[in-house]
Amino acid sequence: MEQVVLLDEAGQPIGTEAKTVVHTDATPLHLAFSAWLFDDSGQLLLTRRAVSKKTWPGVWTNSFCGHPGPGESVEDAIVRRSIEELGLKSGDIADLRPVLPDFRYHAVDASGVVENEICPVYAARLIAGARLHPSRDEVEEFTWVDPTDLVAAVELTPFVFSPWLVEELADVRLRSVWC
């Protein structure tokens, strides 16, 4: 059973809880991550969350997300989730770097489920020749987009995207740390 790391307001671990029970209408603060995956031409991978997902089903979001397990580094969790969610192989991502290491957000899904996460944001590059084989439990569909086109789409239709993507994109642009 996947465990998430619970955090205090200072971002320090205070325990763990099963992922299946932590996301409710009173979700405690916990550790997560978001990853933005680029190809060699600078195109960004966007994924549409599976319609079977508990929160924000069917919305477009960043390349992939997840929760580091107890004792697992964020970087190791990113590699693990790239394999689980996108069907990549170990070594298929390179140049992994934090772009918003202090990102935190709170959002409420239409169903009433709350996201309450300290969620460092990372960018990485998909190595040439790597192939995506997304898990149908995680990804409904995917596309590669020009980051400038994503900015325009989010400005026109923010409701089509996950709230964390919208907030991350605004923070990335403000801090000029786009990949």
Query: What are the residues whose beta carbons fall under 8 Å from the beta carbon of 89, sequence distance 6 or more?
Result: 83, 130
Q: What residue numbers does the annotated binding site cover?
A: 23, 30, 67, 85, 115, 117
Q: Which residues are catalytic?
A: 65, 117
Q: How many CB atoms lie within 10 A of CB 118?
A: 19
Binding residues for Mn(2+): 23, 30, 67, 115, 117
Q: For residue 49, what are the β-bridge partners?
A: 139
| SS3 of 73-99 | CHHHHHHHHHHHHHCCCCCCEEEEEEE
* SS3 at position 124: strand
Which helix (H) or strand (E) segment is 22 a member of? helix 19-22
Binding positions for Mg(2+) are: 85
